[in-house]
Structure 1
Amino acid sequence: MRGVHPWSGVSERVRLGLITQWVTPELVDEVLSECRKRDRRPGALPAGFMVYFTLALALFHQDSYDDVDEQLVCGIHELSGCIPHKASFTRARERLGPEVVERIFHRLAGPRAPVGLAGSFYRGMRLAAVDGFLLDVPDNEANRRAFGGPKDSSGKPGGFPQVRVVTLTETGTRSSIDARVGGYNSGERDPAVAMAASASGMLVIMDRGFPGVELWKAYTGAGAHLLLRARSCVARRPVRHLPDGTYLARMNLAGPKGAHPGGVLVRVIEYRVDGGEVIRLLTDLFDHDTYPARELAVLYHERWEVESAYRQIKTFQRGRQEVLRSTDPTQCGPPARRHPAEDPQVPDRAGGEGPPETRQRHPPTARGRPLPQTAQLAVLLPAEGQTESPTTPRTRQVHHTAGDDSSVVKQRHWPGTSKWNKIEHRLFSHISMNWRGRPLTSHDVIVNSIAATTTHTGLKVHAELDPGTYDTGIKVTDSDIDALPMNRHRFHGDWNYTLHPRPRDTTSAAKNPRPAGGPSPQPCAWRLRNPELTGMPEPMLDELIDQLAPKVDELREQGRIQQRGGERIRARGAGAKDKLTTADRVLATVLYLRKIGTRDLLSQLFGVNGSTLTRAVHQVQPLLAEHGCTIPPSTARFRTPADIAAFLANSSPTEIKPAC
């Protein structure tokens, strides 16, 4: 039927793997009905699919819309070949709105620790902590007006606008019980007060930025108990001293010097750690026999468990110095909230019906086990330091091992699987303490020392020795890589690529073999004008060159006059020819600003040295700014001219949004 997208009626089958155990289709349908977000007519991007897509945007934070969608639908044959345009996803997210994801979060959030779990309870009260953190959002007028951001001494904006996330977190499991999202200028206390109802029956720990009469009354009125660190000026006048050395004092609405009737009575605990500063804790647990000061002082340090929970979001899911993707303030809130199920190390995310993907984080032939026979095999490797380049022997081994004609092997940069993951952060220090001072005389001693390590929160270790032997010194040549039926992805093609089951046609390669040690095939100069590389249609690029050419020539002539110390003596055109034409200078600057590769790569493509290319960029870049032309960076990254040639050979014409 004309006008009906192939996804219509099929995309509803898409799920999010293991996360679907919590975010079930039934829950999604129920919440959509509550929010009155039902689809008015069948379409390619129904509301149910967009819920899972929004969760996937948070899970694959560093991926583009196209890559996130490919992660979701690559297991469904009918969907993988016709992904809708990015603008369609943007409009569908706007139709869905933030309320649906927010309600799903509140349906799923809550304490997870079973009764009796060590580190989760104190004298019958569940332990929780309140704290907050900041996330950068795109710098535009709407976000800065909605959220605010840091400013310099003169009052001018400094850095990105920021959204503030405050959570109530269970310390034993690091599970989010409640969360609130606000602006940079809102502070942490107001969102914390709004979460008081969720803390009933808990002992809530907070840092010294939170104490206040309003917060104290909100939590104690909701049936919660408090253990807060306080500054020296808060509740500093004793009302009555207790036998254990603590004392009762009043925290007033009018500050430390006021005597306001609306204040509250608190118990103050003061102590030092190793002769350092005096730490002051405030609590509403007045019975010094039932709640000894020493126990409460030790208990306060459980607050740091919430920092480990934040590390999962800020370091692993978001990545260092990453900015949230949404430019609309209404879309910046819910993705910042995470459920424990939305873990970047989820091992399975089969996309609904159709052949599931099988994920493997270790070498595909570890201990001689064969790879599973599946239609699509996704190999997930460490995100930092050890991500496999196509030039490594393991890439070729994966292809030969999974060489079944029905298998497509995809390697992905998987966020959160770096060597600095939360397991190492929590466990490896305990392993080091366990074998401290013990001579590691054999493999058995090492394995047994690791396997005997446990933590007070119940974390255990399984360790075994790999008796296999592996060849070393294997080298992969350019011809070996050329023989692989490999397509690089647009997002970091060095790390993300697809190995196809059937090899490419090598007839032409056999007729014209590349000499050993010879140069890699380079794309022709005219092919560098491809819209996939420049980010703009060729007519627009020609128009840009025509606009900048007179000014570029004028600047170059002025530079020559200054270099010669006067006007030219010989006629124009005599002498050495220019290494770069004016059009090439503009094109090289556009590709440089697109960040498709290093300066050395661009120098190879244009046949010049790095200094010549740098001078060209310095001449053209200010002219682009004068014309108001902003060149956005590309999501594709290349290392060699052969990578660009392969990318252009496999790219299909797509609609290009002009860069300026």
Structure 2
Amino acid sequence: MLTFVAMLVDDLPLLVDSHPPFEWDRLGEHLPYEWIEQAVQASGSASLRRRRLPAQQVVWLVIALALYRHQSISEVVDGLELALPAPDASFVSKSAITQARQRTGAAPLAWLFHESARNWVAQDQAQYLFKGFSLFAMDGTTLRTADSAANRRHFGASAAVHDRVGSYPQLRAVTLTAIPTHLVRDVEFGPYDVNEMISARELMPRVPENSITVFDKGFLSAQLLCSLVAGGENRHFIIPAKSNTRWEVLSGESGDQMVRMRVSPQARKACPELPESWQARAVLAVDAGGRQRVLLTSLSDRQRFKAGDIVSCYERRWQIETSYRELKQSMLGMELTLRSQTVEGVYQEFWGALIAYNLIRLEMAKAALEAGRTPEELSFIRAFHTIQYEMTWAAVTRSYGKLPALLARLRERLKQLPNEKRPGRSCARAVKSRPFRYTVRYLKRDLN
């Protein structure tokens, strides 16, 4: 771990000779094998017969696919030696890998994500509390999936101008992310047409107690925010008001007031348990460019939470936007389309990507604590590349003199590659329409 800290904090060259060989036990400290066993057993994916790629190995494979986005699945299996050894086979065929992923499904990865995220976020929570509260941010994003018929039917796609349909199906996700460490605490994702507010309502019961959640103004809803506060002990929110938000001032001075807002008849009809009105504290915030916005919050104690505290908490929310960039661009290497052609495969792959992202962020948090820094001061890309290197180094250095055997197996695999084409497989090419950047204006011309 000390070597990892030095590599992240100091801009030092990688010293291969002095670097200790990486062992799977290192990641096992964070992701113990018992969790993977429980995930497989709880989802009913355990293999009854001995296979080269049992469900436990497939779980590691799916996580590794997110760390090695530019390598094929076969290369990842071979490079990390994920398949169990067999005397009569030197490598695993592509079809066997595909069947192993299909047998395992997405359920073990989903179970493992929720179990690991809950434990990892709580590990160093005391180090990053804000006045005794954990800080979270909730926001949404989209991710493209492979353009298969199954994915398009299930996930749907965005609609552009002139009735053009998006070139790729997309999944929509809403995440609950820890602001200090950027660890994804919880997530809801599915078809593109599912509104973010629906996913946010699903996440509300799972927001931890003694926490402050910062929202984008698109989530401003009496039903959402009231359920957050009433659904647990000491759960609070900070959210900017919209330009058309109206309220009645109850007390306070200009820039820091207690206000009351009426609940619309439409909202009460959809949710009859909502009150006729709800209260919040309105704090005026001015950014560096002079732009003003009003922040609504349930933190009504002015003695404990000054107006400046509310503003600083909200400003930290923007750091969470970088977590989507790190996941979609740094990890996926600008390959914004997921690999999987099937719906179950997309869910499995996205769960694995979230676990892999949290593993990197957890290592960064541990390194930052040892170095006396904050996780925001460390480079995500440097940490990502370090873990990639160490996992590859682990596979190569498990025994001395292994490189010749790896090269021999690579040559053997190259001999067999032409025979792995599946009969009857069609790979029709299609030209994807490019989205218009601006709305096209059609002009009527007099042809006479």
Q: TM-score, normalised by structure 1?
A: 0.50
Structure 1 residue 284: Cα displacement: 0.4
Q: Runs of 5+ in structure 2 lacking a partner?
A: 1-22, 362-383, 427-448
SS at match of 1:91: helix
Letter in 2 for 1:357: V
**Cα distance 1:298–1:74, how it changes in 2: closer, same or farther (>3 A)?**
closer
**Cα distance 1:293–1:280, how it changes in 2: closer, same or farther (>3 A)?**
same
Contact 2:263-2:276 within 8 A present in 1 as well: yes
Distance 2:125 2:207 in 1: 18
Distance 2:326 2:295 in 1: 28
Pairing 1:124–2:132 present: yes
Q: TM-score, normalised by structure 2?
A: 0.72
SS at match of 1:199: coil
SS at match of 2:420: coil
**Cα distance 1:264–1:77, how it changes in 2: closer, same or farther (>3 A)?**
same
Distance 2:114 2:319 in 1: 21
SS at match of 1:654: helix
Structure 1 residue 77: Cα displacement: 6.9
Matches within 5 A, 1:643-654: 653-654=418-419
Matches within 5 A, 1:474-553: none
Contact 1:143-1:328 within 8 A present in 2 as well: yes
Structure 1 residue 256: Cα displacement: 11
Which residue in 2 is equivalent to 1:657? 422
**Cα distance 1:376–1:165, how it changes in 2: closer, same or farther (>3 A)?**
farther
Which residue in 2 is equivalent to 1:284? 298
Matches within 5 A, 1:376-387: 376=402
CA RMSD of aligned residues (A): 3.4
Which residue in 2 is equivalent to 1:341? 359
**Cα distance 1:328–1:193, how it changes in 2: closer, same or farther (>3 A)?**
same
| Segment of structure 1 superposing worse, 329-338 or 46-55 | 329-338
Distance 1:148 1:335 in 2: 18
Structure 1 residue 43: Cα displacement: 2.5
Pairing 1:293–2:320 present: no
1:319 to 327, 333, 350: 333
| Segment of structure 1 superposing worse, 336-345 or 178-187 | 336-345
Q: Structure 1, residues 107-149: CA drift from partner, whole Å, max 9, x if none?
A: 10032563553xx322111111111211100112321222222
Q: Runs of 5+ in structure 1 lacking a partner?
A: 1-14, 360-372, 378-405, 410-484, 491-646
1:247 to 220, 244, 257: 257
Pairing 1:143–2:182 present: no
Contact 1:233-1:256 within 8 A present in 2 as well: no
Matches within 5 A, 1:588-607: none
Q: Structure 1, residues 162-200: CA drift from partner, whole Å, max 9, x if none?
A: 112221111111112111112222232222222222331
Q: Structure 1, residues 285-343: CA drift from partner, whole Å, max 9, x if none?
A: 11223211122112211112212222221112112143101111122124324232157
Letter in 2 for 1:200: E
Higher helix share: 2
Ranked by relative contact order (alpha carbons within 8 Å, sequence separation 6 or more), the top structure is 2
Structure 1 residue 101: Cα displacement: 0.5
Which residue in 1 is equivalent to 2:377? none
Identity of aligned residues (%): 25
SS at match of 1:348: helix
**Cα distance 1:97–1:254, how it changes in 2: closer, same or farther (>3 A)?**
same
Distance 2:411 2:193 in 1: 44
Contact 2:146-2:340 within 8 A present in 1 as well: yes
Distance 2:252 2:411 in 1: 70
1:219 to 225, 228, 233: 228
Letter in 2 for 1:330: E
Letter in 1 for 2:391: R
**Cα distance 1:115–1:18, how it changes in 2: closer, same or farther (>3 A)?**
closer
Pairing 1:96–2:107 present: no
Structure 1 residue 255: Cα displacement: 7.5
SS at match of 1:322: coil
Matches within 5 A, 1:443-454: none
2:68 to 57, 60, 67: 60
Which residue in 1 is equivalent to 2:379? none
**Cα distance 1:163–1:132, how it changes in 2: closer, same or farther (>3 A)?**
same
Pairing 1:209–2:215 present: no
Matches within 5 A, 1:429-448: none
Which residue in 2 is equivalent to 1:187? 195
